[in-house]
Amino acid sequence: MTDIADVLLVHGGTPLEGEIRVRGAKNLVPKAMVAALLGSEPSRLRNVPDIRDVRVVRGLLQLHGVTVNAGEEPGELVLDPTRVESANVADIDAHAGSSRIPILFCGPLLHRLGHAFIPGLGGCDIGGRPIDFHFDVLRRFGATIEKRDDGQYLEAPQRLRGCKIRLPYPSVGSTEQVLLTAVLAEGVTELSNAAVEPEIEDLICVLQKMGAIISMDTDRTIRITGVDKLGGYTHRAIPDRLEAASWASAALATEGDIYVRGAQQRSMMTFLNTFRRVGGAFAIDDEGIRFWHPGGPLNAIALETDVHPGFQTDWQQPLVVALTQASGLSIVHETVYESRLGFTSALGQMGAHIQLYRECLGGSACRFGQRNFLHSAVVSGPTKLQGADLVIPDLRGGFSYLIAALAAQGTSRVHGIDLINRGYENFLAKLEGLGAHFELPGAPAHAVSAAAAVA
Ligand SMILES: CC(=O)N[C@H]1[C@@H](OP(=O)(O)OP(=O)(O)OC[C@H]2O[C@@H](n3ccc(=O)[nH]c3=O)[C@H](O)[C@@H]2O)O[C@H](CO)[C@@H](O)[C@@H]1O
Ligand SMILES: C=C(OP(=O)(O)O)C(=O)O
């Protein structure tokens, strides 16, 4: 991807119209790449987007001796893990703070090398994001963990052993940690209260292709029978349902019409129901989903984020921008991340009426209700948004600010747009193709088109 200036001038007031394409899911692709580390032969991953989280994991895998090359078709990676044991791992600190994925290297490295060093994690600043569940489960498998200044050092004196685990909360990353560790552990692992997001199912598909034995019960229990050896896989990553929903929200907030090629109904059913309740229109075909604002007022709704099959937390921020245009009072209860509504203060500067509350508003009581977190919002609309100076706080919040700036009257100056490259492939070229008006001050005129050509 071409380096671009980090400030964007957005001239709002034009509906986004046209077509964009989403490729493999940010929350699956890097993990499927880590899974390749478990194999005794090369793997082939297709539909890989050019986003920063993929580049970070590619760099980490290469550091550990995995050869990563482009495959035959665009977006295909061939990952060869056959020389991991002889790798000379240096400069791993350079990857500190880069993404959340390094924590998932624990199981595969412990199996292959008997030890692992995990640098400090990155990821979005939307809550405390502890990793206690991860370390608790790794200890249950038999690993020892030592905290060091610059990260965590793990050892497995013997082969890891399958165990019985119940997660305190259906955490996505911890479920993946268990999967990536249990597949080569000795004996059976039973994981209850597991997360069952579509990206987890796709990771299970990858592991099954490699030779793993994994079954899933209807009550969020996953059973894994460890095997002695895994092979490689050939897999096409599921499309990014989170990016697809972001573009859908952009269509609604700007009164536009966007065809999202690659979007799939199955993984977006909960989002589609909500989108329809707000008053958005969509049409599904074999290749993708068209999302548009059908005209007339939008409806205020009550919304609660939850683990799958509930309303995904990563869908929340972009949709809140659209809710500022709905008539009446919408209620949003964020139950997955305690600080994920912080991004709304900047929307207030643009003219949105959003009030945050510490109480659990709406459906049910959540973990954050008694803990002083502003995790419920009342959005009163419709409000005319005005351009403002915005500083991007996190990935989805950043995309939401772009949507707000595009829906607003006047010009916004959006700082920190590079963060969006972590999860949105080639977003500036996509915006340009949808008719958005923006400038990259100080960047050469061809910068956006050059980014498009690279992706
Ligand atoms: C790279 C990736 O796939 N990121 C996704 C993943 O993040 P990630 O896997 O980090 O999110 P989790 O599902 O683990 O987190 C859910 C909740 O569990 C808590 N928790 C988690 C682990 C732990 O050890 N202790 C603990 O308390 C977290 O603070 C949070 O409140 O799932 C989230 C929930 O769908 C998504 O928003 C992220 O986009
Ligand atoms: C929270 C997110 O990602 P991460 O877990 O990588 O920070 C996200 O994709 O919205």
Atom of ligand 2 nearest to the CA of 126: 1
- In the residue annotation, 124 being an active-site residue is answered as yes
For 59, 90, 101, 178, 395, the CA distances from 95, given in Å and listed in that order, are 8, 11, 11, 23, 18
The answer to whether the beta carbons of residues 109 and 64 sit under 8 Å apart is: yes
Query: SS3 string of 224-281?
Result: EECCCCCCCCEEECCECHHHHHHHHHHHHHCCCEEEEECCCCHHHHHHHHHHHHHCCE
67: its two tokens: 């050869």
Ligand nearest to the CA of 310: 1
Q: Is residue 100 a known part of a binding site?
A: yes
For 36, 210, 313, the CA distances from 204, given in Å and listed in that order, are 13, 10, 22
| Exposure b/e, 23-43, CB count within 10 A at least 16 = b | bbbbbbbbbbbbbbbbbeebb
Q: Is residue 336 a known part of a binding site?
A: yes
Enumerate domains of the chain plus CATH numbers: 7-22+239-454 (3.65.10.10), 29-236 (3.65.10.10)
Residue in 128, 207, 142 with CA at minimum distance from that of residue 175? 207
Ligand nearest to the CA of 130: 1
Ligand 1 pocket check for 167: Cβ under 6 Å: no
DSSP assigned state of 37: G
Q: Which of 106, 124, 163, 360 is catalytic?
A: 124
pTM of the model: 0.96
Tell me how far the alpha carbon of residue 263 lies from the centroid of ligand 1, in angstroms: 23
Render each residue's pLDDT in the chain as its tens digit; 455 residues.
444 569 999 999 999 999 999 999 999 999 999 999 999 999 999 999 999 999 999 999 999 999 999 999 999 999 999 999 888 877 777 777 778 899 999 999 999 999 999 988 888 889 999 999 999 999 999 999 999 888 899 999 899 999 999 999 999 999 999 999 999 999 999 999 999 999 999 999 999 999 999 999 999 999 999 999 999 999 999 999 999 999 999 999 999 999 999 999 999 999 999 999 999 999 999 999 999 999 999 999 999 999 999 999 999 999 999 999 999 999 999 999 999 999 999 999 999 999 999 999 987 899 999 889 999 999 999 999 999 999 999 999 999 999 999 999 999 999 999 999 999 999 999 999 999 999 998 776 555 654 443 33
